[in-house]
């Protein structure tokens, strides 16, 4: 059975990129759209992992081939460094508790273990996590069951670092598209070959009987997503006007979006610079991991159980 373990919908909220936050969504996918595309591309199971939210996943949660997930933002309270953790199989009560605890990683990780929620550390070698260092990685490794080693939106070099770290620490390696548009859904996946049901698939995750496969990211994939985001933004405002012709905000956003189309070229340049930064961040993290190998492969006392 195959599953794209990392997919977003509009329930992930608004963009975190200033100054777009008040106007642009993080994602324009609908839960039903994610489900439809994932199944069409050969996924046996579907999971939605919105940022600190499970409403989109719960809207499909009554289906036997759907896993409820969330990409949880965990925070190291001492320095504010944030990490992204995919958590699978949670319910509303657990989600509420996680949201209370996630602002202190020392409280969050023991809770996830106590609840026996399968947890993976996402895009560990990507600068999108923030200034993560070897000690941060070392603090998390004893508490997660897996690392995302094939992220369909990240560069091959950062995925390679994650794969090497997973192998060195004996962690399961997962694959997921991290798709915020329809482009990547189901093109990167995790496979449990002997699973026949959702429950057997989750059991395979815990046992480590998995294979990660599919595409990885590049400037071209991000450039494609930038163009898709632009189109989705304009389409959303057009639909709002179709339903509510007197909506002045929709008029302003649609007009501003059309006027701003030439700025897409700036966004494409930004995408290129982002990946330049990603490569440099990956190198810095690698140097830090090599400089402090004992701490990386051992437990950090402050966080250990």
First and final CA of the chain: distance in angstroms? 34
Q: CB of 82 within 8 A of CB of 44?
A: no
Distances (CA, A) of 290 to 51, 164, 286: 31, 12, 6
Residue 302 main-chain phi, psi, to 5 deg: -65, -30
Of residues 69 and 289, more confidence is placed in 69
Residue 243 lies in a domain: no
Residue 194 lies in a domain: yes
Residue 285 main-chain phi, psi, to 5 deg: -65, -40
Question: Of the segments 17-26, 40-49, 223-232, 238-247, which one has the largest average pLDDT value?
Answer: 40-49
In this prediction, residue 256 has a pLDDT band, given cuts at 50, 70 and 90, of: confident
Mean pLDDT of 159-173: 94
Residue 34 lies in a domain: yes
Q: Tokens 């012709």 sit at which residue? A: 245
Range of the domain at 128: 2-219+274-297
The rounded distance, in Å, linking the Cα atoms of 7 and 156 is 19
Maximum pairwise Cα distance, the chain:
63
Residue 252 lies in a domain: no
- Is the pLDDT assigned to residue 291 strictly greater than 90? no
Alpha-carbon dihedral 277, 266, 15, 23, rounded to 10 degrees: 160
In this prediction, residue 229 has a pLDDT band, given cuts at 50, 70 and 90, of: confident
Listed residue (99, 140, 158, 185) closest to 278, CA to CA: 158
Q: Tokens 């579907």 sit at which residue? A: 46
The rounded distance, in Å, linking the Cα atoms of 305 and 300 is 10
Residue 244 lies in a domain: no
- Is the pLDDT assigned to residue 128 strictly greater than 60? yes
Residue 255 lies in a domain: no
The rounded distance, in Å, linking the Cα atoms of 144 and 270 is 32
Q: For the chain, what is the mean pLDDT?
A: 91
Residue 42 lies in a domain: yes
In this prediction, residue 44 has a pLDDT band, given cuts at 50, 70 and 90, of: very high
Of residues 113 and 217, more confidence is placed in 113
Q: CB of 162 within 8 A of CB of 174?
A: no
Whole-prediction pTM: 0.90
Residue 263 lies in a domain: no
In this prediction, residue 300 has a pLDDT band, given cuts at 50, 70 and 90, of: very low
In this prediction, residue 116 has a pLDDT band, given cuts at 50, 70 and 90, of: very high
Domain count, the chain: 1
Mean pLDDT of 223-232: 86
CATH number at residue 90: 3.20.20.140
- Is the pLDDT assigned to residue 159 strictly greater than 90? yes
């Amino acid at each position: 059975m195959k599953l794209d373990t990392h997919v977003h919908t509009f329930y992930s909220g608004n963009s975190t990129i200033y100054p777009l936050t008040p106007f642009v969504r993080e994602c324009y996918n609908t839960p039903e759209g994610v489900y439809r595309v994932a199944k069409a591309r050969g996924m046996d199971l579907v999971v939605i992992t919105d940022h600190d939210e499970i409403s989109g996943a719960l809207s499909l949660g009554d289906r036997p081939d759907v896993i409820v997930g969330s990409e949880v933002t965990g925070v190291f309270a001492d320095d504010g460094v944030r990490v992204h953790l995919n958590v699978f199989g949670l319910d509303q009560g657990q989600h509420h508790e996680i949201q209370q605890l996630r602002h202190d990683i020392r409280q969050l990780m023991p809770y996830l273990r106590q609840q026996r929620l399968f947890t993976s550390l996402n895009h560990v070698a990507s600068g999108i996590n923030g200034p993560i260092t070897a000690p941060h990685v070392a603090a998390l490794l004893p508490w997660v069951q897996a690392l995302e080693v094939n992220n369909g939106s990240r560069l091959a070099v950062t995925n390679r670092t994650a794969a090497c770290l997973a192998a060195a620490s004996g962690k399961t390696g997962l694959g997921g598209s991290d798709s915020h548009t329809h482009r990547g859904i189901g093109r990167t996946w995790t496979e449990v070959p002997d699973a026949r049901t959702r429950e057997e698939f989750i059991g395979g995750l815990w046992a480590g009987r998995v294979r990660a496969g599919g595409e990885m990211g590049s400037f071209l994939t991000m450039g494609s997503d930038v163009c898709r985001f632009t189109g989705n933004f304009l389409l959303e405002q057009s639909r709002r006007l179709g339903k509510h012709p007197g909506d002045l905000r929709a008029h302003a956003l649609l007009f501003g979006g059309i006027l701003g189309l030439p700025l897409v070229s700036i966004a494409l340049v930004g995408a290129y610079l982002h990946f330049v930064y990603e490569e440099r961040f990956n190198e810095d993290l690698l140097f830090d991991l090599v400089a402090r190998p004992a701490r990386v492969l051992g437990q950090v006392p402050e966080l250990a159980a």
